Amino acid sequence: MVILVPFLRHKRDLLLLRDGELALARVVSQRAIQQGKASYSSTDYEFKTSSGLQICSSVRNLNNRVFEDVFYDPLNADKNITPCATNLTVVNELS
């Protein structure tokens, strides 16, 4: 059953990347988090929905890149994902 957790997370991420609204995000802060011998980057960001609602969120940045885009559920903007927080890739055009 451990395999289902990553699968469900990727499914949720895929749905947001595929069907979510796109907004421009502003990075508020970025910091390194030490967890035992490993470390990762945590990024706080904010964005406005198409209805003007201001959303603040935080993400574990998997590739340590600064991002500009955020995909969110228009019915619940607290459900959002940035491309840097998933191992999935956003493709701009289909071949």
Per residue in 57-66, pLDDT (tens digit) is 988 877 766 7
Q: Is the pTM of this model over 0.75?
A: no
8-57 residue pLDDT tens: 566 778 888 888 999 999 989 888 888 888 877 888 999 999 999 999 99
Residue ranges per structural domain of the chain: 23-85
State the Cα angle at 31 between 48 and 35, rounded to 5°: 125
CA distance 92 to 79: 22
CA dihedral of residues 76, 68, 65, 87 (deg, nearest 10): 40
